[in-house]
Amino acid sequence: MTLGVREQPRGAGSPRPRPATRLGLVGWLTGLAVLAGVGYRLWLLGHAAPPTNSDEATMGLAALHIARGEGFPVWFYGQQYMGTLEAYLAAPVFALAGGPSLLGLRLPTLALYLLFLLLVWRLTLRLTGDRWFGLLVVALLALGSDRVVKNQLIAGGGYPEMNAAGVALAVLAVDLASGRPGWRLARWAVWGFLAGLMLWVDPLVLPYVVATGAVLVGFCRRELRGAAGALLGAAAVLGAAPLLLHSLLNGRNPLHAVLAASGANATAGWADRLHGGLLIGPPLGMGFCAPGQCSTWQLWWALALPLLLALGAVTAWRALRRPPTDPAAAIRLALVLAAVVTLGAYTVSSSAGLTPVESSRYLSCLLISLPVLLWPVWTVARRDPRPSATGRRGLGRTLARPVALALLAATLGTAAQATWRSAQTAPATRAAEARHAELVTTLRQLGVRQVRAGYWTCNRLTFASAEQVVCAVVDDALRPGFDRYPAYRREVDRAATPAWVAPAGSPLANALDERQRANPGDLDLVTIDGWRIYLPQ
């Protein structure tokens, strides 16, 4: 396996090139790290992990409708933002497989993760030229805590494709800004298309679009005045075409829907926002915490991140000021600034204060900046420990290398521990999925085709049954709830005797049990492991 970029010619007095066997070794090790990352996620998919939910099932239903030619949705059902790219990627898989499945829905997201790893390797080499550092970055990203693998594998809208697209934009930007020859117009077109596509899919990656775009403007102004600029603009319009056409035809501004969903209309205290955005968010969102929580010792990354951001910005700025102007240094600075904007925007949002654990997914894009955050630490760790020519070494230089090595080791060790904790939950997830499959089978055997259930049951049940069972949402007081696909409610309302389904021990099950006690004979109860089915007489 050969990975990497061509070595540049070395001048007189330059360090002697490393033996070819060393280069081959790091290439093979990197390939093994990539295979390990993909293999681990394949193992998770075999256990139906991470656990699915009705939001992911909603994307699966959109893919099913596309595969059947029954509809071509622009937005995630029930809202006017978040494009359905994942549904369009999964639809051919469903068509070839002869029907929907959770594995078929997630195979495209697994492919996007593989693309992300390969692009990160490429970007790291373009920015640093250090293959061993590239191996470190790939190995770290091959790990996957609970929150990280959820972002990468669950087809819930936007997250699996954002990181791959963000890294691709950075790779294209450094190639274009450095004047790399060959296929330049194609590179401009791809950059523009991806930028427009991400506007439709999910605006969370916009800081990376703007930052890498600013580098292109700074280094390629003259080229952008010609065919390259026109092609980039046309490709961006093409990528954002679903958003633009829907907005023009319906007179709706998708930005308003995004702001409402982000918590702009809610309120949270600044203490809660700072706690969720700066203390809980970074370690959870970047893969250093156990499933659903952060232990106190795992919060160290929240303290390290601001220092890494500052160090990355300073080193990139110093490199950028040295003539000749280095496009790689400009991209490094752009990725640091994009990370700062991402972290700042999340911290000032009410989501950081109201739902810090679940909302930490909004920091998924920070992984794009991981190479530039760790690069200054790596350069210190690789520094020659021997005294300088004067024979003197300051205390700072003496301590810097051990501290850098400790930071890198802590980063890998904490991420590995979080990955191990996440992997331990996979058997329980597979057992829960088996219980849900038994629920679907039981409903089919009972001849039930229309049911009422809670939000987190409904679309998951409808997707798992390939719409053989359709569901209308109710709340815990048995009142109509939020249906993302109104056609299902209309069908349930037309049914003579729809059933009720509730997880055992849930508030909805308790409400139905109370109704059964108040009106004996009104409902027949069928119980299976984990679920309660109420059949009206």
- Proportion of the chain above pLDDT 90, given as a percent: 78
Q: Which residue has 């331990």 as its token pair?
A: 424
What pLDDT shows up at residue 323?
87
- Pick left, alpha or beta for residue 12 (phi over 0 → left; psi -120 to 50 → alpha; otherwise beta): beta
Q: What is the pLDDT of residues 482-524, one digit of tens each?
A: 999 999 999 999 999 999 999 999 999 999 999 998 888 888 9
Mean pLDDT of 147-156: 95
Phi (first) and psi of residue 17, to 5 degrees:
-60, 145
Task: Kindly tell me if the per-residue pLDDT of 257 is higher than 60.
Answer: no
Q: What is the separation, in whole angstroms, between the first and last Cα of the chain?
A: 66
Q: What is the pLDDT of residues 274-294, one digit of tens each?
A: 999 999 999 999 999 988 888
Q: Give the residue from 93, 120, 119 showing the smallest Cα distance to 106.
A: 93
- pTM recorded for the entire structure: 0.91
Q: How far is CA 181 from the centre of its chain?
A: 32
What pLDDT shows up at residue 158?
84
What pLDDT shows up at residue 265?
53
The pLDDT confidence band at residue 394, using thresholds 50, 70 and 90, is: low
Element (H, E) at 450: strand 450-453
Mean pLDDT of 172-199: 95
What pLDDT shows up at residue 73?
95
Q: What is the pLDDT of residues 434-448, one digit of tens each?
A: 999 999 999 999 999
The pLDDT confidence band at residue 3, using thresholds 50, 70 and 90, is: very low
What pLDDT shows up at residue 385?
61
Q: What is the pLDDT of residues 296-331, one digit of tens each?
A: 899 999 999 999 999 999 999 999 999 888 999 999
The pLDDT confidence band at residue 268, using thresholds 50, 70 and 90, is: confident
The pLDDT confidence band at residue 398, using thresholds 50, 70 and 90, is: confident
Task: Kindly tell me if the per-residue pLDDT of 6 is higher than 50.
Answer: no
Mean pLDDT of 373-379: 96
What pLDDT shows up at residue 527?
95
Return the structure tokens found at 447.
């001849």
Q: What is the pLDDT of residues 202-223, one digit of tens each?
A: 889 999 999 999 999 999 999 9
What pLDDT shows up at residue 11?
35
What pLDDT shows up at residue 482?
95
The pLDDT confidence band at residue 19, using thresholds 50, 70 and 90, is: very low
Task: Kindly tell me if the per-residue pLDDT of 386 is higher than 70.
Answer: no
Mean pLDDT of 447-471: 96
Mean pLDDT of 419-430: 96
Q: Write out the DSSP string of 265-311.
A: TS---HHHHHIIIIIIHHHHHTT-SBTTB--GGGGHHHHHHHHHHHH
What pLDDT shows up at residue 80?
86
What pLDDT shows up at residue 108?
97
Task: Kindly tell me if the per-residue pLDDT of 239 is higher than 80.
Answer: yes
Task: Kindly tell me if the per-residue pLDDT of 10 is higher than 80.
Answer: no
CA dist 309 and 340 (Å) reads 7
What pLDDT shows up at residue 389?
47
Rounded to the nearest 10 degrees, the angle between the axes of helix 426-445 and helix 455-464 is 70
Task: Kindly tell me if the per-residue pLDDT of 183 is higher than 70.
Answer: yes
> Which range (118-132, 246-260, 274-288) has the least confidence?
246-260
Residue 14 is given by DSSP the state: P
CA dist 184 and 188 (Å) reads 6
Instruction: Read off the amino acid at residue 517.
Output: R
Q: 496 or 110: which carries more pLDDT confidence?
A: 110
Return the structure tokens found at 24.
């081959």
Q: Which residue has 């630490």 as its token pair?
A: 377
- Proportion of the chain above pLDDT 70, given as a percent: 91
Q: 34 or 291: which carries more pLDDT confidence?
A: 34
Mean pLDDT of 138-160: 94
CA dist 532 and 471 (Å) reads 15
Three-state SS at 268: coil
